[in-house]
Amino acid sequence: MHAIITKNLTKYFFHRRGLFKKQKITAVNRINLTVEKGEIFGLLGPNGAGKTTLIKMLTTILTPSDGNITVNGFDLRKEEEKIKCSISLIYPGERSFYPRLTGRQNLAFFSGLYGIPSHLAKSKISELLEMVGLKDKADVWFEEYSSGMAQRLAVARGLLNNPDIIFMDEPTKSLDPLEAQKFRIFIKEFVIREQKKTVFLATHQLNEAEEVCSRIAILHLGEIRFCGSVGEVIGPEKKTLYDLFLEAVGQGKHEFS
Amino acid sequence: MNSLRKITAFFKKSLIVQMNYTLDFFISIFNTVFVIAVFFFLIRLFNQNLYLEKYKGDLFTFLLIGLAYARFLDTWLNCFSNSLQSEFFCGALEMILVTPIKIFEILFFSTLWPQVYALFHVLIYFTVGITFFQAHISASGYLLASLIALVSMIIFMGFGIISAAILLIFKRGLPLRSVLYASSLFLGGAYFPVEVLPQAFQKISYILPVTYSLRAIRNVLINGYTINLVYDDVKILFIFAIILFPASLYIFKRAFRHAKSVGSLAHY
């Protein structure tokens, strides 16, 4: 069964140019994607490719200009609430929590929004904080958290409602290499193997995609330039993901533009 | 049940955040008491109670009600845009929107705490004013005055929601709020009777809901008027409420849809 299906998904914005002029910018252009249940699907692309716009549409934050989205079997236009109940979003953590609440209090707030009864929420939060290694810092104000801790708290929040599909937008952006590696192992071992979730991961770190994703898509200027399994990338020509990425975005190895 | 959990989540979050700013909490109480004391002694100094025959010549009680009302008015007009703005600033709004919560639930639940906090301040105004500064409040009028305040709350929350809608689209809602707040207090008779104003201003004051609301509340709390005697003012307030509140919800819904469509929900 498919976890995510998009059909001709399009998003354009109108950017103001001067006092009266507006310019139409197509951020995502007629995207057709299918993500299977239980896979880690990687969305790669350079800055400004449209990755965040696509994730925002899939997570109901942004209304598509055209096309259709089905998430977990629910149509975005008709069943937005049902989609929200079955997904979660993990953003880079620093700017999506309340600084003057502790990690535990932040999670308690979000569990309330998911309608989790407080006695269940309490044990669930403790369990998640332990799982992401924040047990000792659970009662410290969020403003005192390091970037790595903030990111781990974001992961805990992402698992609060036991979602079927987890969207991740540049989740290792602010992590050091060691933390990032731990995070990738956590996704593979716990989220996918143990919990059997579907993960939609937007990243511009090629090694990350290569390491954790079963399939990838390369997005450039709002269009899918490649979509397939990591094995397909290498192919008989023994290409690297880096080669494919450069090919897809139309840039030479030594260009800087 | 789910809604109750969401309300509790927002209320508890705001309460904890407020309690983490303890100094701010105590300063706000000090300010409240300080303002009452300043007005009390100024009135003693000047003792000019002209224009106040209608209110038993009691300028202090007149002002005390005006002050308490201004505190409420500030909350009603500003709480929606303030709540939205604080969610913008800490970046949590988009994360909240991914959870199964409706935008109107966010709007109303997140403003529950500011409303309770304003009520707490108003209770301090009346408790201190009556206990230490001999304010004369008709005890039988509390219920009716609360009902009039409730209708007024609906009206001004309407303005507040429109201001939040403006904030969603233009990322600035302050000018409207400031103009409404200042003009309501100045022309609506919060700190002096409307009759003190020049004729032209008096005419403007009668198109403002605050004028009817304050007059009715003062008549109830100072003169002990019953519902029959303030019926005309209350009727006008109801008309304002019936028109403004649904209109504000409609405007906000449109503004939210627009922000969601242009992707400006996280911008500030």
Cβ pair A117:B99 closer than 8 A: no
List the CATH number of the domain containing A93: 3.40.50.300
Report the candidate in B115, B156, B160 with the shortest Cα–Cα distance to residue B15.
B115
- Measured in angstroms, the CA of A210 and the nearest CA of chain B are apart by 28
Nearest CA in chain A to B92: A96
Residues of B in contact with A98 (CB under 8 A): 13, 17, 90, 92
Beta-carbon-side half-sphere exposure of residue B163 (alpha carbons within 13 Å): 27
> What b/e sequence results for B87-105 when a residue is b if at least 16 CB atoms lie within 10 Å of its CB, and e otherwise?
bbebbbbbbbbbbbbebeb
Provide the H-helix boundaries in A87-117. 103-113
**pLDDT for the residue A22:** 82
Residues pairing with A217 in the sheet: A43, A227
How confident is the model at residue B236, as a pLDDT?
97
Tell me the pairing of strands A215-220 and A198-203: unpaired
CB contact under 8 A, A60 and B98: yes
Indicate if the pLDDT at residue A61 is higher than 80.
yes
Residues B101-123, mean pLDDT to the nearest whole number = 93
Distance CA B129, CA B13 (A): 31
The confidence score (pLDDT) of residue B267 equals 64
B19 touches chain A (CB under 8 A): no
Question: Quick one: tokens of B58?
Answer: 């009691």
pLDDT at A242 over 90: no
Residues A241, A226: Cα–Cα separation, whole Å: 11
In this structure, are residues A112 and B12 in contact, taking their beta carbons and an 8 Å threshold? yes
pLDDT band at A257 (very low <50, low <70, confident <90, very high): very low
Instruction: Check residue A189 and give its pLDDT.
Output: 87
Question: Is residue A128 assigned to a domain?
Answer: no
Residue pair B193/B52 in contact (Cβ under 8 Å)? The answer is yes
pLDDT in tens, A42-54: 999 888 889 999 9
Task: Give the global pTM.
Answer: 0.87
Average pLDDT score over residue span B76-92: 88
Domain extent at residue B107: 2-262
Q: Note whether residue B267 is domain-resident.
A: no
Closest Cα in chain A to B88? A96
Residue-wise pLDDT for B12-54, tens only, equals: 988 888 888 878 788 888 888 878 877 777 776 666 666 777 8
Q: Quick one: residue A232, left, alpha or beta (phi over 0 = left, psi -120 to 50 = alpha)?
A: alpha
Total count of domains within chain B: 1
Q: Kindly tell me if the per-residue pLDDT of A40 is higher than 80.
A: yes
Q: What is the mean pLDDT of residues A207-221?
A: 89
> Tell me, what's the pLDDT at B254?
96
- The answer as to whether B110 is a domain residue is yes
ipTM of the complex: 0.88
- In a domain, residue A110? The reply is no
In a domain, B268, yes or no: no
Using a CB-CB distance cutoff of 8 angstroms, which residues of chain A are in contact with residue B13? 98, 101, 105, 109
Q: Within a domain: residue A102?
A: no
Residue A117 lies in a domain: no
B90 or A100, higher pLDDT: A100
- Tell me what the mean pLDDT of segment A154-169 comes to: 93
Please check whether residue B105 is in contact with residue B3, taking contact to mean a CB–CB distance below 8 angstroms.
Answer: yes
Structural domain range at position A190:
2-97+151-249
Q: Which residues of A touch B95 (CB under 8 A)?
A: 89, 91, 96, 110, 157
Instruction: Please tell me which residue of chain B has the smallest CA distance to A100.
Output: B17
pLDDT of residue A156: 93
* pLDDT for A81: 92
3-class DSSP assignment, residue A16: strand
Q: What is the mean pLDDT of residues A235-256?
A: 69
Q: Which residue has the tokens 């950017």?
A: A15
Between strands A21-36 and A40-44, the pairing is unpaired
Predicted local distance difference test score (pLDDT) of residue B161 = 94
Q: What is the mean pLDDT of chain A?
A: 88
- Name chain B contacts of A115, Cβ cutoff 8 Å: 1-2, 5-6, 100
- Tokens 């970037």 belong to residue: A147
Rounded alpha-carbon distances, angstroms, from residue A238 to A98, A205, A231, A232: 47, 20, 10, 10
Mean pLDDT, all residues of chain B: 88
| Residue B89 in tokens | 């600033």
Chain A nearest-CA residue for B91: A96
Task: Flag whether A199 is in a domain.
Answer: yes
CB B133 within 8 A of CB B60: yes
Over range B228-236, report the average pLDDT.
96
Residue B201 resides in a domain: yes
Q: d(Cα A53, Cα A20) in Å, to the nearest integer?
A: 25
- Chain B partners within 8 Å of A163 (Cβ): none
Specify whether the CB–CB gap between B130 and B137 falls below 8 A. Answer: yes
> In the predicted model, what is the mean pLDDT of residues B224-229?
94
- Say whether B5 and A115 touch across the interface (CB within 8 A): yes
* Per-residue confidence (pLDDT) for residue A252, from 0 to 100: 56
Banded pLDDT at A34 (limits 50, 70, 90): very high
* Residue A43 near residue A51, CB atoms below 8 Å: yes
Chain B residues whose beta carbon lies within 8 Å of the beta carbon of residue A112: 5-6, 8-10, 12
B15–chain A nearest CA distance, Å = 10
Encode pLDDT of A124-154 as tens digits: 999 999 988 899 999 999 999 988 899 889 9
Residue A8 is assigned to a structural domain of this protein:
yes
